[in-house]
Amino acid sequence: MAGIIKASINLNAIDKSKIIEGKKGKYLPITITINDEPDQFGNQGPVCIEQTKEEREAKTAKTYLGNVKVLWTNGTFPDKVPYEGGGQQQPQNNKPQAVAADPDLPF
Protein backbone atom coordinates (compact mmCIF):
# COMPACT_ATOMS: atom_id res chain seq x y z
CA MET A 1 0.00 0.00 0.00
CA ALA A 2 1.45 3.34 -1.05
CA GLY A 3 -0.78 5.60 1.02
CA ILE A 4 -4.06 6.49 2.67
CA ILE A 5 -6.08 9.48 1.49
CA LYS A 6 -9.09 10.92 3.35
CA ALA A 7 -11.78 12.72 1.33
CA SER A 8 -15.08 14.50 1.92
CA ILE A 9 -17.53 15.35 -0.83
CA ASN A 10 -20.57 17.61 -0.96
CA LEU A 11 -23.37 15.36 -2.19
CA ASN A 12 -25.49 18.42 -3.05
CA ALA A 13 -22.89 19.47 -5.66
CA ILE A 14 -23.25 16.29 -7.72
CA ASP A 15 -24.58 16.87 -11.23
CA LYS A 16 -27.07 14.00 -11.58
CA SER A 17 -26.52 13.91 -15.37
CA LYS A 18 -22.92 12.77 -14.72
CA ILE A 19 -24.01 9.60 -12.88
CA ILE A 20 -23.30 6.49 -14.96
CA GLU A 21 -25.66 3.53 -14.83
CA GLY A 22 -23.52 0.40 -14.58
CA LYS A 23 -24.22 -3.34 -14.35
CA LYS A 24 -23.72 -3.35 -10.58
CA GLY A 25 -24.98 0.10 -9.61
CA LYS A 26 -24.67 3.81 -10.24
CA TYR A 27 -21.26 5.47 -10.47
CA LEU A 28 -19.91 9.01 -10.44
CA PRO A 29 -16.55 9.37 -12.20
CA ILE A 30 -14.35 11.67 -10.11
CA THR A 31 -10.83 13.03 -10.28
CA ILE A 32 -8.69 13.49 -7.16
CA THR A 33 -5.71 15.81 -7.37
CA ILE A 34 -2.84 15.73 -4.85
CA ASN A 35 -0.98 19.05 -4.70
CA ASP A 36 2.62 19.51 -3.57
CA GLU A 37 1.63 21.90 -0.77
CA PRO A 38 -1.50 22.01 1.44
CA ASP A 39 -3.83 25.00 1.29
CA GLN A 40 -4.54 27.31 4.25
CA PHE A 41 -6.99 24.71 5.65
CA GLY A 42 -4.55 21.79 5.45
CA ASN A 43 -6.24 20.25 2.40
CA GLN A 44 -3.88 18.71 -0.13
CA GLY A 45 -6.14 18.67 -3.16
CA PRO A 46 -9.64 18.78 -4.58
CA VAL A 47 -12.18 16.12 -5.54
CA CYS A 48 -13.88 17.04 -8.84
CA ILE A 49 -16.37 15.43 -11.19
CA GLU A 50 -14.37 13.99 -14.09
CA GLN A 51 -14.57 16.08 -17.28
CA THR A 52 -14.96 14.77 -20.81
CA LYS A 53 -12.36 15.61 -23.43
CA GLU A 54 -14.82 18.09 -24.96
CA GLU A 55 -15.37 19.82 -21.60
CA ARG A 56 -11.61 20.13 -21.06
CA GLU A 57 -11.06 21.51 -24.56
CA ALA A 58 -13.92 24.01 -24.10
CA LYS A 59 -12.36 25.10 -20.77
CA THR A 60 -15.62 24.29 -18.95
CA ALA A 61 -15.41 25.08 -15.23
CA LYS A 62 -14.78 22.06 -13.02
CA THR A 63 -17.40 20.91 -10.51
CA TYR A 64 -15.66 20.77 -7.14
CA LEU A 65 -17.13 18.26 -4.70
CA GLY A 66 -14.73 18.47 -1.78
CA ASN A 67 -11.17 18.11 -0.54
CA VAL A 68 -8.60 15.45 0.28
CA LYS A 69 -5.83 15.03 2.83
CA VAL A 70 -3.02 12.49 2.69
CA LEU A 71 -3.10 10.68 6.04
CA TRP A 72 -0.18 8.31 5.44
CA THR A 73 2.35 7.44 2.75
CA ASN A 74 5.13 4.92 2.50
CA GLY A 75 7.13 7.40 0.41
CA THR A 76 6.06 6.08 -3.00
CA PHE A 77 3.33 6.99 -5.44
CA PRO A 78 2.18 4.46 -8.08
CA ASP A 79 2.62 5.09 -11.81
CA LYS A 80 -0.51 5.81 -13.81
CA VAL A 81 -2.34 2.91 -15.39
CA PRO A 82 -2.60 3.34 -19.17
CA TYR A 83 -6.15 3.58 -20.52
CA GLU A 84 -7.08 3.23 -24.15
CA GLY A 85 -10.89 3.25 -23.95
CA GLY A 86 -13.27 0.33 -24.01
CA GLY A 87 -12.36 -0.65 -20.45
CA GLN A 88 -9.29 -2.56 -21.61
CA GLN A 89 -6.10 -1.95 -19.66
CA GLN A 90 -2.73 -2.84 -21.11
CA PRO A 91 -0.21 -4.73 -18.95
CA GLN A 92 2.53 -2.51 -17.63
CA ASN A 93 5.52 -2.37 -15.36
CA ASN A 94 3.98 -0.69 -12.29
CA LYS A 95 7.10 0.54 -10.50
CA PRO A 96 6.33 3.13 -7.78
CA GLN A 97 7.96 6.53 -8.00
CA ALA A 98 9.58 7.95 -4.91
CA VAL A 99 7.97 11.05 -3.40
CA ALA A 100 8.97 13.02 -0.35
CA ALA A 101 7.22 11.95 2.85
CA ASP A 102 5.94 14.60 5.25
CA PRO A 103 8.67 14.96 7.91
CA ASP A 104 6.12 16.30 10.43
CA LEU A 105 4.13 13.05 10.59
CA PRO A 106 4.47 11.26 13.93
CA PHE A 107 5.21 7.87 12.32
Q: What is the pLDDT of residues 24-58, one digit of tens each?
A: 999 999 999 999 899 999 999 999 999 999 999 99
Helix or strand or coil: residue 11?
Answer: helix
* Model-wide pTM > 0.75: no
| 5: amino acid identity, one letter | I
Buried b (16+ CB within 10 A) or exposed e, 53-74: eeeeeeeeeebebbbbbbeebe
- Mean pLDDT, rounded, for 2-13: 91
pLDDT in tens, 42-98: 999 999 999 999 999 999 999 999 999 999 888 887 777 887 665 444 444 444 444
